[in-house]
């Protein structure tokens, strides 16, 4: 089990506003500035991860630590023999801010919700870049990120991934009976790694592969 | 029968010495990692290690025995994950009984001639507590109690609660252990690289919490290697008056092929541990990656060492779930505004159960820079216990300051102390026997520092000498209950100078005497001094300064008072406290700013000004304009002619995509602020009732932003919203609908996994009640899905829910 702290890059205000169903106005910019200032110092950037081997036949996927069935993952990771499974969180601080304003200022709660989403996505993107740099030397390249619940990938995998990575002990992610994670801004995902010397058509991808996902009305779809 | 008999015999014949007794004069060597050794012995991934107590007891016994043979005085049973949330009651019992028996057998079989103990090991439950997770505090306490009772029955010599990374869950476990058994109790937390728990708690805040709860040893384990946890351990040693335990990992894990290695070897590990033992650690062992050979070397290395005596620290400290406030030379500010006394608005808020109003008082005072918040919600006609517990729970989510629990009702006090996430300040006891006998036992059980008023059955003594004598009496009574003097803070009672010109002098000389001769900290409610006098702020501030110069430690005061805050900041600057000068300047600067704001407001044209303020979402401006308008205009008229039209403009803009969701909300919040003013100023404002709507986030779902947005807008449009919160049982929704005769229920769900509970709730409402419509919303829902699960209406956003509610006759 490997534990890393990943650096955030700058906040993408456009993304935050998109998650908050909003566009720029003076008042909204002011609200966002206030929230960004208050958020400072309240974020973690913890990731715990592990390598895996995978074999796939007729969408039956055999990871070195568990098995599952998923056509969409099989398609997305086609040709990958190895990969990385990870859990990431920006910590409980953002949940505290959301909870703080939930009752007294829903507009701020909404903004923190959006900021949290943008930050955890930023963390995952930067972690993927980190993996990319770590594995480039041995000729492996990431081909996308896939979380339980995307496409037809079973959300129940959370119950396997989190204990496997000791995510509760190491970075404080717990799971409730409805498979919701706390802290709420946490992500588990697989990153497929492809052998760059054996395939020529691969292009490195970052973040979500929205085109391969079937949720067409997803708020986060790009 | 024979098996149980054997266990029982073990209990009564093998227990030579109490672990607490042993700790008095010895360094206790505990064991090392269990999980990593089990994996080496072939424990397959996905198999719960606790099951091996039943399936492969010999493997577990060998590990325990190896640790005892290596020199451990104590091993922890293989029960880290054994809890009622993971195992059925029957299996849990079998696992814990087997685990304790295996460890006791190993103890007997070991060749070591050292003193040996078996500790029942308890880890986290794997669920986060409310409000961030779904586990109720009392449910957690009950789960832990089950484990402890079984462990005690099975014959454990001690209990060790370990690897806890959340302060609140730690408290639940400790309360359970103390209630379920009398065994020695060791508590160890897992700190991250930033030196705090994952819940954000500092080591000294944990010391305050755990010492308060009366554990026998506290400390840290797991997460990192010994070097990286040094700072944490040393902070624990600095503050703790009880033995400290230290069980770090053998560094960080590295996986090469299929084998896990740890990067701190035995020699480096032992060198660092021995160092910490020399600094005062009294229980030393290891966690992940450490093996019997680490423990052997550690045991050999410290065998000649003399234990450092555990010294009592005279530190007066209270804590929240984040950090602690220490009473020392720097003055402590206790915000007094959460209190209905003399506040019409606050009283009304309590009667209306208007929690946001109370929370806002907490947030505003926090922003003003107080260190502790006093919480008093007592009013003759309300259920104070329920209210206090509720307010404390909610405040813990909006402020990270420690709370001062302020109630005269011992029942309410106990309930609030129990669920409080930290070591609270208690307001108050006094010299009356009856009061001390009801409050001190609570302090002993839950921990806390207590404000002690120097009055008794005979009233308030007229002399400082008289008040001093009561202070002595209170101290000796506290000692009888085992409460240390460091946890008593005396209030020598401020009386108004309007009736007795000597009042101020008596109060101050009593506090000086208590401070000098009894060595205790003091606190005063400053503002009483000016009762019945003109220009109160000036007098209060003068008196406050006088008391500060005589050594006052803390003041219960109004942080919105410019004079008081100026006195506080100038005192700190003059005394040269760290950052004092900077903060003083800062205070003066920011205060000028508020003066300017008022000037701007005065220039605003009232009638159209309100509309502008609402549409722009300027909360404060909107409420101040409303307040001025009320002097000349009827409340209902303002609602109909100003507020509703403004809301309609924004609502329409939103529907036509000219305004965005945050704008809609900011306007709604501004309008809410106006309604608030009108509600408190004129009875008229209450007559907008367009019928009741129940809102709830369904069972299993803990996200409620969407629901709160709908609530805000519905209330703006005159509907009475009964907000049942998040993670709500279908039965509770049904009961409330029946009881309140509600015609519309709004349900929210975020996940596909929780839409199931939504469907269940709708079915129950339709079958058992039938008199209401159900509107649903949430991230994963669609119109067709809503129809499929039997909802009457699907709303894509909050405005649509308002429109739907308007289309029904809900009265």
Instruction: Confirm or reject contact between B363 and chain A (CB < 8 A).
Output: yes
What is the per-residue pLDDT for B2?
41
For residue B6, tell me if it sits in a domain: yes
From the list A3, A106, A178, which residue is nearest B665 (CB)? A106
At B96, which CATH number? Answer: 3.20.20.330
CB contact under 8 A, A106 and B394: no
User: Residue A47 pairs with which residues in a beta bridge?
Assistant: A4, A88
Look at residues B50, B37, B79, B64 and name the one whose alpha carbon lies nearest to residue B289.
Answer: B37
What is the per-residue pLDDT for B681?
75
pLDDT tens-place string over residues A124-150: 999 999 999 988 888 888 988 999 988
**With a CB-CB cutoff of 8 Å, which residues 36-95 of chain A face chain B?**
46, 50-51, 65-66, 91-93, 95
* Four-point Cα dihedral B78, B84, B88, B89, nearest 10: 90
For residue B565, tell me if it sits in a domain: no
Rounded-to-integer distance, Cα B761 and Cα B732, Å: 10
For residue B504, tell me if it sits in a domain: yes
Same domain membership, residue B242 and residue B114: yes
Q: Which two tokens stand for residue B438?
A: 């009801």
Q: How many CB pairs under 8 A join A and B?
A: 157
Mutate to test the interface with A, among B190, B198, B724 (most CBs of A within 10 A): B198
Confidence band for A218, pLDDT divided at 50, 70 and 90? low
Same domain membership, residue B660 and residue B693: no
Last residue of a domain, one of B651, B685, B719: B685
* Four-point Cα dihedral A144, A149, A154, A155, nearest 10: 120
> CA of B124 to nearest chain A CA: how many angstroms apart?
9
Domain tally for chain B? 4
Rounded-to-integer distance, Cα B191 and Cα B188, Å: 10
> CA of A201 to nearest chain B CA: how many angstroms apart?
30
> CA of B663 to nearest chain A CA: how many angstroms apart?
7
Confidence band for A214, pLDDT divided at 50, 70 and 90? low
Residue, of A27 and B389, whose pLDDT is higher: B389
> CA of B356 to nearest chain A CA: how many angstroms apart?
5
For residue B404, tell me if it sits in a domain: yes
Same domain membership, residue B265 and residue B330: no
At B648, which CATH number? Answer: 1.10.1240.10
Low-confidence ranges of chain B (pLDDT < 50): 1-13, 593-607, 685
pLDDT tens-place string over residues B105-139: 999 999 999 999 999 999 999 999 988 888 999 99
Last residue of a domain, one of B560, B585, B620: B560
What is the per-residue pLDDT for B352?
86
A216 interaction partners in chain B (CB closer than 8 Å): none
Same domain membership, residue B452 and residue B438: yes
B223 interaction partners in chain A (CB closer than 8 Å): 169-170
What is the per-residue pLDDT for B682?
65
Rounded-to-integer distance, Cα B759 and Cα B763, Å: 6
Rounded-to-integer distance, Cα B48 and Cα B757, Å: 29
Domains in chain A, start-ordered, CATH in brackets?
Answer: 2-212 (3.40.109.40)
Rounded-to-integer distance, Cα B334 and Cα B401, Å: 10
For residue B579, tell me if it sits in a domain: no
Same domain membership, residue B282 and residue B384: no
What is the per-residue pLDDT for B15?
53
With contact defined as beta carbons under 8 Å apart, do B745 and B769 qualify? no
For residue B202, tell me if it sits in a domain: yes
Same domain membership, residue B360 and residue B468: yes
For residue B151, tell me if it sits in a domain: yes
At B776, which CATH number? Answer: 3.40.50.280
Rounded-to-integer distance, Cα B75 and Cα B103, Å: 7
For residue B370, tell me if it sits in a domain: yes
CA dihedral sign, ordered B729, B730, B733, B736:
negative
From the list B126, B703, B704, which residue is nearest A168 (CB)? B126
pLDDT tens-place string over residues A65-83: 899 999 999 988 988 889 9
Same domain membership, residue B364 and residue B259: no
**With a CB-CB cutoff of 8 Å, which residues 718-777 of chain B face chain A?**
750-754, 757
> What percent of chain B lies above the pLDDT cut of 90?
67
What is the per-residue pLDDT for B10?
42
A62 interaction partners in chain B (CB closer than 8 Å): none
Q: Which two tokens stand for residue B126?
A: 């794997």
B143 interaction partners in chain A (CB closer than 8 Å): none
Last residue of a domain, one of B657, B685, B713: B685
Neighbours of A219 (CB within 10 A): 10
Q: Which two tokens stand for residue B729?
A: 């049982």
Rounded-to-integer distance, Cα B405 and Cα B318, Å: 12
Q: What domain range is B777 assigned to? A: 689-807
With contact defined as beta carbons under 8 Å apart, do B362 and B373 qualify? yes
What is the per-residue pLDDT for A198?
60
- DSSP count for chain A of H helices, then E strands: 7, 9
Instruction: Confirm or reject contact between A212 and chain B (CB < 8 A).
Output: no
Tell me the residue ranges of DSSP E strands in B690-792: 692-697, 720-723, 744-748, 773-777
Rounded-to-integer distance, Cα B670 and Cα B613, Å: 7
Same domain membership, residue B98 and residue B172: yes
Same domain membership, residue B147 and residue B242: yes
Same domain membership, residue B58 and residue B182: yes
Same domain membership, residue B141 and residue B28: yes
Same domain membership, residue B655 and residue B533: no
């Amino acid at each position: 089990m490997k534990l890393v702290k990943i650096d955030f890059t700058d906040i993408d205000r456009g993304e935050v506003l998109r998650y908050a169903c909003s566009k720029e106005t003076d008042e909204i910019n002011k609200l966002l500035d206030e929230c960004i200032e208050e958020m400072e110092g309240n974020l973690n950037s913890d990731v715990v991860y592990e390598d895996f081997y995978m074999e796939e036949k007729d969408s039956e996927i055999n990871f070195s630590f568990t098995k599952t069935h998923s056509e969409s993952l099989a398609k997305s990771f086609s040709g990958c023999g190895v990969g990385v499974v990870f859990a990431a969180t920006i910590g409980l601080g953002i949940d505290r801010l959301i909870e703080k304003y939930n009752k007294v200022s829903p507009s701020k709660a909404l903004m923190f919700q959006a900021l949290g989403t943008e930050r955890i996505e930023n963390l995952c993107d930067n972690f993927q870049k980190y993996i990319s740099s770590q594995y480039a030397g041995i000729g492996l390249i990431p081909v996308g990120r896939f979380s339980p619940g995307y496409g037809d990938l079973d959300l129940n995998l959370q119950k396997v991934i989190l204990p496997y990575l000791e995510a509760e002990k190491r970075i404080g992610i717990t799971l409730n009976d409805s498979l919701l994670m706390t802290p709420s801004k946490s992500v588990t995902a697989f990153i497929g790694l492809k052998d760059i010397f054996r395939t020529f058509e691969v292009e490195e991808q970052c973040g979500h592969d929205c085109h391969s996902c079937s949720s067409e009305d997803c708020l986060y779809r790009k | 029968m024979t098996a149980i008999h054997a266990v029982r015999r073990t209990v009564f014949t093998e227990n030579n010495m109490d672990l607490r007794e042993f700790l008095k004069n010895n360094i206790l060597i505990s064991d090392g990692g269990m999980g990593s050794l089990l994996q080496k012995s072939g424990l397959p991934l996905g198999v719960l290690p606790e099951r091996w107590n039943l399936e492969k007891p010999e493997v577990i016994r060998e590990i325990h025995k190896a640790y005892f043979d290596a020199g451990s005085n104590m091993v922890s049973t293989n029960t880290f994950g054994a809890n009622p949330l993971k195992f059925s009651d029957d299996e849990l019992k079998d696992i814990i009984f087997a685990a304790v028996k295996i460890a006791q057998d190993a103890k007997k079989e070991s060749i070591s001639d050292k003193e040996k103990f078996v500790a029942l090991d308890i880890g986290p439950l794997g669920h986060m507590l409310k409000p961030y997770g779904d586990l109720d505090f009392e449910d957690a306490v009950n789960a832990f109690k089950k484990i402890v009772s079984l462990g005690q029955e099975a014959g454990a010599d001690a209990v060790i609660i370990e690897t806890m990374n959340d302060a609140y869950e730690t408290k639940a476990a400790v309360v359970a252990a103390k209630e379920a058994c009398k065994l020695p109790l060791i508590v160890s937390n897992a700190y991250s690289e930033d030196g705090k728990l994952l819940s954000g708690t500092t080591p000294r805040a944990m010391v305050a919490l755990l010492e308060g709860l009366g554990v026998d040893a506290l400390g840290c384990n797991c997460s990192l290697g010994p070097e990286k946890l040094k700072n944490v351990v040393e902070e624990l040693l600095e503050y703790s008056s009880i033995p400290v335990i230290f069980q770090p990992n053998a560094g960080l894990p590295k996986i090469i092929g299929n084998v896990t290695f740890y990067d701190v070897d035995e020699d480096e590990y032992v060198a660092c541990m021995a160092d910490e033992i020399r600094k005062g650690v009294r229980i030393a062992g290891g966690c992940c990656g450490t093996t019997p050979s680490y423990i052997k070397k550690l045991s050999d290395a410290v065998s000649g060492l003399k234990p450092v005596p555990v010294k009592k620290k005279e530190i007066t400290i209270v804590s929240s779930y984040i950090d602690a406030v220490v009473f020392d030379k720097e003055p402590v500010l206790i915000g007094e505004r959460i209190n209905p006394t003399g506040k019409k608005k606050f009283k009304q808020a309590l009667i209306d159960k208007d929690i946001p109003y109370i929370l806002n008082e907490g947030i505003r005072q926090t922003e003003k820079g107080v260190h502790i918040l006093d919480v008093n919600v007592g009013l003759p006609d309300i259920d104070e216990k329920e209210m206090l517990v509720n307010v404390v729970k909610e405040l813990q989510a909006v402020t990270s300051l420690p709370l001062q629990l302020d109630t005269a009702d011992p029942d309410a006090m106990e309930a609030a102390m129990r669920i409080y996430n930290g070591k609270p300040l208690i307001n108050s006891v006094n010299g009356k026997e009856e009061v001390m006998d009801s409050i001190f036992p609570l302090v002993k059980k839950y921990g806390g520092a207590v404000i002690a008023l120097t009055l008794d059955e005979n009233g308030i003594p007229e002399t400082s000498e008289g008040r001093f004598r009561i202070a002595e009496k209170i101290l000796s009574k506290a000692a009888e209950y085992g409460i240390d003097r460091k946890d008593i803070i005396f209030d020598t009672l401020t009386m108004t100078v309007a009736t007795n010109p000597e009042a101020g002098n008596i109060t101050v000389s009593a506090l000086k005497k208590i401070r000098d001769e009894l060595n205790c900290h003091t606190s005063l409610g400053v503002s009483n001094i000016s009762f019945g006098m003109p220009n109160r702020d000036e007098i209060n501030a003068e008196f406050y300064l006088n008391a500060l110069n005589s050594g006052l430690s803390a003041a219960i005061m109004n942080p919105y008072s410019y004079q008081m805050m100026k006195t506080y900041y100038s005192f700190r600057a003059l005394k040269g406290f760290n950052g004092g000068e900077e903060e003083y300047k800062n205070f003066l600067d920011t205060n000028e700013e508020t003066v300017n704001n008022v000037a701007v407001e005065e220039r605003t044209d009232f009638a159209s000004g309100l509309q502008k303020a609402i549409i722009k979402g300027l909360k404060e401006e909107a409420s101040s304009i409303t307040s001025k308008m009320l002097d000349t205009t009827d409340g209902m008229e303002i609602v109909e002619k100003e507020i509703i039209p403004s809301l309609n403009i924004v609502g329409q803009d939103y529907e036509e995509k000219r305004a965005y969701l945050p704008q809609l909300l900011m306007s709604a919040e501004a309008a809410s602020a106006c309604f608030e003013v009108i509600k408190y100023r004129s009875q008229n404002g209450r007559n907008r009732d367009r019928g009741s709507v129940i809102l709830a986030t369904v069972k299993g779902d803990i996200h409620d932003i969407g629901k709160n947005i709908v609530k805000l807008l519905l209330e703006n449009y005159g509907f009475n919203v009964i907000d049942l919160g998040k993670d709500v049982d279908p039965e509770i929704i049904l009961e409330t609908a029946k009881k309140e005769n509600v015609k519309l229920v709004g349900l929210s769900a975020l996940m596909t996994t929780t839409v199931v509970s939504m469907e269940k709730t709708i079915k129950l409402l339709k079958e058992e009640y039938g008199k209401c419509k159900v509107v649903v919303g949430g991230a994963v829902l669609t119109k067709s899905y809503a129809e499929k699960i039997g909802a009457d209406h699907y709303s894509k956003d909050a405005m649509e829910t308002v429109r739907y509610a308007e289309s029904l006759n809900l009265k």
